[in-house]
Amino acid sequence: MKVRLNKFLSECGVASRRKSEEYINEGRVAVNGKTVNALSFFVDDVIDVVTLDGEKIKTQKKVYYLLNKPRSFVTTTDDEKGRRKVTDLIKSGQKIYPVGRLDYDTTGVLILTNDGEFTNFLTHPKNNIPRVYKASLNRKLEEEDRLKLVKGITLEGRKSKFTDISFIKKHVYEKVLVTATEGRNHFVKRMFEILGYKVTSLERVTYGPFDVKGIPAGGYRKLSYSEIENVYKIYSK
């Protein structure tokens, strides 16, 4: 079956479609020995030989993991500082990648997969997939500021907001439950910082329908294909 080259790369687990397009534009992808720069190029996933930086890309079985990320792990597949990586925690025969990022000391729900298409679906802003975080602040969250964060403030030159903010415990105004539908780097921390708050601890408790209840810190489980299909059913427009 013929598929667009960037889709082929993402389905093989090379990277998301967007990142795959970057590889194509950079001249790093070849089909049957010839470099391809056209994003509209189609390949036959049965007979064509596709390479990235000269290395043949193999189709592979899609795998999905739900990890309860502990503190002091980075969500990259390579770290120049030699820090521990979240991929070190999962025993998989496939090369897998984190879906989005959690900070070094942020804990909780993290999905890892070799399915670039699914990664793109989860992270694309248009799908409005909610992420819920427990955040501890260095001081009481004032009601005026809570409302500002829900209505929207300017971050990186554009209006940004939390979908919801609630207090975890009655009369405890330093611990909040935050819902967001975008995942820019350090998004939750930077939103609070704009209004003069420091996030002292952060845990992602859900990502879409997924949570890590019953999974200890550093533990993980495989997600079933039916669970993945359910995400598409819930959030496809």
Residues serving a catalytic function are 103
Distance CA 199, CA 187 (A): 11
Cα–Cα distance, 22 to 138 (Å, whole number):
40
CA distances from 30 to 8, 47, 55, 115 (A): 13, 14, 10, 21
Identify which of 140, 141, 139 has the alpha carbon closest to the alpha carbon of residue 149: 141
DSSP assigned state of 148: H
8 Å CB contact between 133 and 203 = yes
Nearest to 201 by CA among 231, 220, 175: 175
Beta strands in the chain (DSSP E): 2-4, 29-31, 34-35, 42-44, 50-52, 55-56, 64-69, 97-98, 107-113, 131-137, 153-155, 158-160, 164-169, 172-180, 199-207, 210-211, 220-222
User: By 3-state DSSP, what share of the chain in percent is helix, strand and coil, each rounded to 5?
Assistant: 25, 30, 45
**Closest listed residue to residue 122, CA positions, set 8, 3, 18, 6:** 18
